[in-house]
């Protein structure tokens, strides 16, 4: 089949519609054909372009027939001029012949971003995670290839923008943009380049992969997070950036820390401290604070306090450049967040509340995830002080005050830890039952722990 005429192509604006992007991702052609018909493309035109009989096109559009054959999917892509990537196919031959190189690159990036946003809009399902995993695989391959640069300045810009965190955006939205930018960077790594540029790109890959892992961690996708952290560590090592490698290790430690393996977290955090060396850096401060939290969770109070004092000393000695309020920096707000969790775990509620107050004062109103975790720490302090029912009320209030898109695996895990600490004799109390109900109804996909 040759390149079809424009009269048989799907309306371009439909490829920007999130509903159609999602339908293409799942190959739900009933929605695609129906939308194409509404946009002015007749069933006969679809049939002519794709080689499917008109009556069958009508049945598919009305949901009375489906398409499963890959050859038919390819005919639809070619006939209607739907980019292959939107249907999970390789780029079609006409994609390489109808536009110039720069335009093709920009179109591929745009469609990949649309694909990710559409897939993640449905939640972190196996289907949604597939393109994320594929991009990570390509990134890992690119790090072992002899490859290269292009819009390096743009990549530096987007990496810095991502480093400022969620900024009020839902984690799944941030994840889609991060993974799309990793894919763009991967394409650059796969082209020949000078050694100095490759080092720069590897450093950016370590940062973007690490930040992607952070979001996956917050969403409760532990295995995915660890896989992305592994790629981030490899990229940092290839860049020869010891400090960045230490940051990746410290961040990696937060996965077992927050999901039930504090001893493993302590080992990783101590490894990160060793990698960071003795210079006061954001990575060293983070590693030491995470180690304090991990030791507190294992019950090693002495080591936890030793690390807390060391973390304070490092944080106080940090130069301004290391204090940036970003995922890569270690500002006062971030430091107090870590102290809040460590001190809360140790039952030092007086000092924990001081850290919570300071962290909240330094947190922007849009820092929904961080502020929620601080409120949950405060609720746990109520429990440590013997006011368990007040703790239930406070935790319930924290969970119901945020949009459902922020009910991540991390938030759910922290709140569930509090629920599990409630004595069984109190779990029939209305306050405890209300907390259990909220946790049950707001639990994200594959919640870290089940409730009774």
Identify the pLDDT of residue 422. Answer: 93
Chain segment 203-243, per-residue pLDDT in tens: 999 999 999 999 999 888 889 999 999 999 999 999 999 99
Look at residue 171 in the predicted model and tell me its pLDDT: 87
Name the pTM for this structure: 0.67
DSSP class per residue in 326-389: SSSS--HHHHHHHHHHHHHHHT-HHHHHHHHHHHHHHS-TT-HHHHHHHHHHHHHHHHHTT-HH
The rounded distance, in Å, linking the Cα atoms of 18 and 366 is 25
CB 280 within 8 A of CB 323: no
Distance of CA 11 to the CA centre of its chain: 32
The pLDDT assigned to 252 comes to 96
pLDDT at 387: 95
CA distance 438 to 396: 7
pLDDT score, position 448: 38
- Counting as low any pLDDT under 50, the low residues of the chain are 1-6, 98-102, 104, 145-150, 445-452
**pLDDT of amino acid 121:** 62
């Amino acid at each position: 089949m040759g390149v079809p005429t424009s009269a048989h192509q799907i309306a371009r604006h439909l490829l920007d519609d999130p509903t159609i992007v999602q339908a293409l991702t799942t190959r739900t052609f009933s929605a695609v054909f129906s939308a194409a018909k509404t946009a002015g493309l007749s069933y006969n035109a679809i049939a002519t372009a794709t080689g499917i009989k008109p009556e069958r096109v009508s049945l598919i559009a009305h949901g009375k027939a489906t398409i499963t054959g890959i050859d038919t999917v390819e005919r639809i892509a070619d006939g209607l001029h739907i980019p292959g990537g939107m249907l999970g196919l390789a780029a079609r031959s006409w994609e390489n012949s109808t536009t110039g190189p720069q335009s093709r690159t920009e179109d591929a990036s745009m469609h990949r971003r649309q694909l990710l946003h559409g897939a993640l809009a449905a939640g972190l399902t196996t289907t949604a995670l597939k393109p994320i995993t594929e991009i990570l695989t390509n990134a890992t391959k690119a790090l072992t290839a002899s490859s290269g640069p292009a819009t390096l300045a743009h990549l530096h810009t987007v990496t810095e923008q991502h480093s400022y965190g969620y900024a009020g955006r839902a984690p799944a939205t941030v994840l889609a943009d991060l993974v799309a930018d990793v894919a763009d960077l991967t394409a650059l790594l796969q082209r020949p380049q000078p050694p100095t540029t490759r080092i720069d790109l590897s450093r950016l890959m370590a940062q973007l992969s690490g930040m992607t892992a952070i979001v996956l961690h917050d969403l409760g996708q532990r295995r995915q997070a660890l896989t992305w952290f592994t790629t981030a560590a490899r990229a940092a090592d290839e860049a020869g950036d010891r400090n960045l490698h230490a940051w990746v290790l410290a961040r990696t430690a937060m996965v077992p820390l927050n999901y039930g393996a504090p001893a493993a977290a302590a080992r990783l955090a101590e490894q990160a401290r060793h990698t960071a060396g003795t210079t006061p850096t954001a990575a060293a401060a983070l590693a030491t604070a995470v180690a304090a939290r991990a030791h507190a969770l294992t019950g090693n109070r002495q080591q936890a306090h030793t690390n807390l004092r060391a973390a304070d000393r490092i944080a106080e000695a940090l130069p301004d450049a290391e204090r940036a309020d970003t995922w890569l920096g270690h500002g006062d707000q971030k430091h107090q967040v870590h102290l809040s969790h460590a001190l809360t775990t140790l039952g030092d509620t007086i000092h924990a509340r001081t850290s919570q107050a300071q962290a909240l004062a330094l947190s922007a109103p849009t820092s929904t995830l961080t502020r929620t975790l601080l409120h949950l720490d405060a609720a746990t302090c109520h429990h440590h002080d013997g006011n368990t029912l007040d703790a239930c009320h406070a935790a319930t209030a924290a969970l119901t005050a945020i949009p459902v898109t922020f009910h991540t695996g991390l938030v759910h895990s922290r709140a569930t830890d509090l629920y599990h600490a409630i004595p069984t004799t109190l779990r029939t109390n209305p306050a405890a039952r209300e907390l259990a109900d909220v946790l049950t109804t707001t639990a994200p996909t594959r919640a870290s722990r089940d409730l009774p």
